Structure 1
Amino acid sequence: MIGSIIIGILAGFLAGKLMRGGGFGCLWNLLLGVVGGAVGGWVFSLFDISWEGSWIGQLVTAVIGAVLVLYVASLFRRK
């Protein structure tokens, strides 16, 4: 559980660096990264892809999910 949270936080940090404009700030990127880890796992399960044994695979999954979450959240962001 704590490992998953740490991977989600790291994924949020990396997703914030990958997104144009830096995302929503450090704290929000980290929180959205934790949510993104769950979203990434769900998206990858739709394609029957699982990297449960590898923490690098879990990190990649979480980063992809966090980028998706940050992108969707940016659509609702006021300018």
Structure 2
Amino acid sequence: MTGLLIFLLVGAIAGWLAGLIVRGFGFGLIGNIVVGIIGAFLAGWLLPRLGVSFVLISPLVTSIVYAMIGAIILLAIIGVFKRA
């Protein structure tokens, strides 16, 4: 249960940060948090398959960065479909 709460918190922080980085493709605070949570799943699946792995200050910071990368990728994909 604690792991799930931490995962949701990491996704929420990552979505918020991704919304700040990828301007114009955001969905507001709540929408970006949801995108961050989905992006955390995406990054957890995609990055290891691409051979991307790194460790930062702590496992929590590393998880936030991974999830933020996933959220940015997801926001960019959504932005492409949104324009079309």
TM-score, reference length from structure 2 = 0.81
Q: Which moved more, 1:20-29 or 1:63-72?
A: 20-29
Partner of 1:38: 41
Given that 1:12 and 1:32 are in contact with CA atoms closer than 8 Å, whether structure 2 keeps it comes out as: yes
Equivalent position to 2:20, from 17, 22, 26? 17
Whole-angstrom CA distance in 2 between matches of 1:15 and 1:6: 14
Number of residues of Structure 1 aligned to a counterpart in Structure 2:
78
Q: Shift of the alpha carbon at 1:24?
A: 1.6
1:77 has 2:82 as partner: yes
The alignment partner of 2:24 has SS state of coil
Q: Shift of the alpha carbon at 1:49?
A: 2.4
Higher helix share: 2
Distance of aligned partners of 1:13 and 1:48 in 2 relative to their CA distance in 1, 3 Å threshold: closer
TM-score, reference length from structure 1 = 0.86
The alignment partner of 1:49 has SS state of coil
In structure 1, the gaps of 5 or more residues are none
In structure 2, the gaps of 5 or more residues are none
1:49 has 2:36 as partner: no
Q: Shift of the alpha carbon at 1:78?
A: 5.2
